[in-house]
């Protein structure tokens, strides 16, 4: 195991990490991309899932032509849902074509990032190797930010788990499972649970479920004028702005940005899921979870309706499909000293126009950037924009020649602390 140096280390090889790596490689930088390509999609999304995003909004970002989803699958129509495994295959094909990884980096994780001299970072991998890097891109996706509501937090994982903890839902066959949430993830998980032989019961705060409409491949001009253009987040003039011009979103007041992140694409099921949500799935809307109590054979879940009426129901498991909330404090890969130096607002990093945090040379891509650049950062569609900005900023600050190989002891800050 030898210590090494690199221009950039990217933590995570999902759509944002891979896109950023492709742009950086193209600029001639020495890049280490750490993690198995598309790992989260393969391991943490349920088998049998389909993407909600349309094919043109499911492209990874590359400066080279021919690397879009629609280049690999030219016949894929708007309104034709993409199966999870097709998208994972696409991401892995992209990685094989555009993102060479060193042997070992694919199976590694970034376990620690700390500040180093002069103005760089020391990045430690799960293999034990430590890399001296000029810049680090944190592209760890949504996984570290899985949110379980307070009322259910602290329950043992065999009784309460987040939807992202499961790929194989057959382990719930024959069981009564509450699914908390009203978004695509909750509704699709409930359908897939029913397919797997479980007895799902969706519990949602919303007064009723919402469903997206069938997208039209060709829209009459009148519809286009009245309804606005199509974009990677849906149709509408404002939606187009949020989807296609995230750089402008950054200039909106913070409260507005947060509101559009919340309100753009609110919880709703895909049109193609609607028919599959049949009598096998019970649905209770207008109810919030108040408490859960462990019992001998499962748990008693108390929910409250809008009139304050309480109902206690027994379940064998509760699956929370309650989303992801970015919070730098939860990023254990960043050393505590570094985490403490990153300026945040309500947990999310404050980012420059180039996705750089207040600690120079440290960049955040994906969900962590949504409170700065808006809702498109929650989706694959934002990856090319983020990757382009990050890569061009790094190249502007990085001399093209390889950095001198430094001994780790020479680059570590004397005052850094590790947990
Ligand atoms: C169920 C579900 C369905 C979704 N459907 C869609 C959809 O249809 N369309 C869409 O656009 N978006 C969808 N999303 C949102 C989607 O997660 C994001 O668009 C996308 O994954 C963002 O890419 P990313 O690279 O930021 O994150 P990810 O794809 O999560 O990739 C991050 C990677 O980093 C790895 N990682 C984490 N920590 C480390 C570490 N310390 N070291 C190394 N690697 C690490 C993870 O294993 C992961 O593979 C969905 C999300 C969920 C949960």
Best mutation site among 8, 18, 141 for ligand 1, i.e. most ligand atoms within 8 A of its Cβ? 141
Where residue 282 falls among pLDDT bands split at 50, 70, 90?
A: very high
Q: What percent of the chain stands above pLDDT 90?
A: 87
Rounded to an integer, the average pLDDT of 349-376 is: 97
Q: What percent of the chain stands above pLDDT 70?
A: 95
- Locus of tokens 């304050």: 308
pLDDT tens-digit readout, 26-55: 999 999 999 999 999 999 999 999 999 999
- Long-range Cβ contacts of 308-316 (<8 Å, 24+ apart): 311/287, 313/178, 313/201, 314/176, 315/176, 315/177, 315/178, 315/201, 316/172, 316/175, 316/176, 316/177
Nearest ligand 1 atom to the CA of 189 is 1
pLDDT tens-digit readout, 368-378: 999 999 999 99
Rounded to an integer, the average pLDDT of 9-20 is: 98
- CA distances, 66 to each of 13, 37, 69, 71, 269 (Å): 20, 19, 9, 5, 31
pLDDT tens-digit readout, 127-164: 999 999 999 999 999 999 999 999 999 999 999 999 99
Nearest ligand 1 atom to the CA of 52 is 8
- CA distances, 230 to each of 236, 243, 250, 260 (Å): 7, 10, 21, 17
| CB distance 12 to ligand 1 below 6 Å | yes
- Locus of tokens 């699956």: 319
For residue 411, is pLDDT > 50?
A: no
What's the confidence (pLDDT) of residue 227? 85
Q: DSSP readout, 170-226?
A: GGGTT-EEEEE--SHHHHHHHHHHHHTT-EEEEE-SSSS--BPPPPPSS--HHHHHH
Ligand 1 centroid to Cα of residue 173, in Å, is: 27
What's the confidence (pLDDT) of residue 21? 98
Ligand 1 centroid to Cα of residue 368, in Å, is: 11
What's the confidence (pLDDT) of residue 398? 75
Where residue 404 falls among pLDDT bands split at 50, 70, 90?
A: very low
Ligand 1 centroid to Cα of residue 236, in Å, is: 26
For residue 415, is pLDDT > 80?
A: no
What's the confidence (pLDDT) of residue 217? 80
Nearest ligand 1 atom to the CA of 141 is 27
Rounded to an integer, the average pLDDT of 60-83 is: 96
For residue 118, is pLDDT > 90?
A: no
235 sits in which H/E element: strand 234-235
Q: How many CB atoms lie within 10 A of CB 20?
A: 34
For residue 381, is pLDDT > 50?
A: yes
Best mutation site among 234, 265, 379 for ligand 1, i.e. most ligand atoms within 8 A of its Cβ? 379
Per domain, the residue ranges of the chain are 4-145+324-411, 160-210+268-320
What's the confidence (pLDDT) of residue 215? 83
Ligand 1 centroid to Cα of residue 164, in Å, is: 10
Q: Which residue has the higher pLDDT, 403 or 388?
A: 388
Nearest-CA neighbor of 317 among 178, 197, 140?
A: 178
Best mutation site among 35, 61, 184 for ligand 1, i.e. most ligand atoms within 8 A of its Cβ? 35
Ligand 1 centroid to Cα of residue 34, in Å, is: 14
Ligand 1 centroid to Cα of residue 17, in Å, is: 10
Rounded to an integer, the average pLDDT of 178-197 is: 97
Are 100 and 25 contacting, i.e. CB atoms less than 8 angstroms apart? yes
And the tokens for 112? Answer: 């620690």
For residue 400, is pLDDT > 70?
A: no
- Class of the CATH domain delimited by 4-145+324-411: alpha beta
What's the confidence (pLDDT) of residue 156? 96
| CB distance 143 to ligand 1 below 6 Å | yes
Rounded to an integer, the average pLDDT of 52-69 is: 96
Rounded to an integer, the average pLDDT of 6-15 is: 97
Q: 3-class DSSP state for residue 19?
A: helix
What's the confidence (pLDDT) of residue 399? 62
Ligand 1 centroid to Cα of residue 15, in Å, is: 7
**Among the four given CATH numbers 3.40.109.10, 3.40.640.10, 3.50.50.60, 3.40.190.10, the one describing domain 160-210+268-320:** 3.50.50.60
For residue 278, is pLDDT > 70?
A: yes
Among protein residues, the one whose CA lies closest to atom 5 of ligand 1: 51
Average pLDDT, the chain: 93
Among protein residues, the one whose CA lies closest to atom 35 of ligand 1: 12
pLDDT tens-digit readout, 230-253: 999 999 999 999 999 999 999 999
What's the confidence (pLDDT) of residue 397? 85
Distance between CA 383 and CA 246 in Å, rounded? 11
pLDDT tens-digit readout, 256-275: 999 999 999 889 999 999 99
Best mutation site among 10, 80, 142 for ligand 1, i.e. most ligand atoms within 8 A of its Cβ? 142
Among protein residues, the one whose CA lies closest to atom 14 of ligand 1: 379
| CB distance 80 to ligand 1 below 6 Å | no
What's the confidence (pLDDT) of residue 223? 84
What's the confidence (pLDDT) of residue 1? 43
Domain 4-145+324-411 and domain 160-210+268-320, same fold? Reply is yes
Q: Report the alpha-carbon angle 326-331-333, nearest 5.
A: 155
| CB distance 379 to ligand 1 below 6 Å | yes
Best mutation site among 9, 10, 11, 15 for ligand 1, i.e. most ligand atoms within 8 A of its Cβ? 15
What's the confidence (pLDDT) of residue 10? 98
């Amino acid at each position: 195991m030898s210590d090494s140096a690199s221009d950039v280390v990217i933590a995570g090889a999902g759509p944002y990490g891979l896109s950023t790596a492709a742009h950086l490689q193209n600029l001639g930088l020495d890049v280490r991309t750490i993690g198995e390509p598309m790992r989260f999609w393969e391991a943490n999304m349920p088998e049998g899932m389909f993407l909600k995003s349309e094919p043109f909004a499911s492209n990874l970002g590359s400066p080279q032509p021919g690397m879009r989803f629609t280049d690999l699958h030219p016949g894929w129509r708007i309104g034709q849902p993409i199966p999870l495994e097709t998208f994972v295959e696409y991401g892995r094909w992209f990685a094989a074509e555009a993102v060479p990884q060193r042997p070992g980096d694919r199976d590694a994780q970034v376990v620690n990032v700390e500040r180093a001299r002069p103005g760089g970072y020391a990045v430690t991998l799960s293999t034990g190797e430590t890399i001296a890097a000029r810049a680090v891109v944190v592209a760890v996706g949504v996984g570290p930010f899985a949110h379980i509501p307070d009322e259910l937090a602290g329950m043992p994982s065999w009784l309460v788990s987040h939807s992202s903890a499961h790929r194989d839902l057959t382990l719930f066959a024959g069981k009564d499972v509450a699914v908390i949430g009203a978004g695509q993830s909750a509704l699709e998980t409930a359908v897939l649970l029913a397919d797997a032989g479980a007895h799902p019961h969706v519990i949602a705060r919303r007064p009723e479920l919402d469903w997206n409409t069938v997208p039209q491949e060709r829209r009459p001009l009148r519809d286009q004028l009245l309804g606005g253009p199509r974009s990677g987040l849906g149709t509408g003039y404002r939606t187009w702005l949020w989807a296609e011009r995230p750089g402008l979103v950054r200039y909106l007041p913070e409260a507005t940005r947060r509101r559009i992140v919340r309100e753009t694409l609110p919880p709703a099921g895909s049109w193609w899921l609607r028919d599959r949500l049949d009598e096998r799935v019970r649905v209770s809307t207008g109810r919030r979870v108040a408490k859960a109590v462990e019992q001998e054979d499962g748990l008693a879940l108390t929910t409250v309706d809008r009139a304050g009426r309480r109902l206690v129901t027994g379940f064998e498991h509760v699956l929370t499909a309650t989303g992801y909330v970015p919070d730098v404090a939860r990023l254990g890969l960043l050393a505590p000293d570094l985490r403490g130096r990153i300026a945040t607002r309500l947990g999310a990093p404050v980012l420059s126009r180039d996705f750089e945090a207040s600690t120079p040379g440290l960049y955040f891509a994906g969900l962590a950037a949504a409170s700065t650049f808006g809702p498109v950062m929650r989706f694959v569609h934002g990856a090319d924009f983020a990757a382009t900005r990050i890569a061009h900023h790094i190249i502007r600050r990085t001399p093209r020649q390889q950095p001198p190989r430094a001994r780790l002891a020479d680059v570590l800050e004397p005052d850094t602390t590790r947990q």
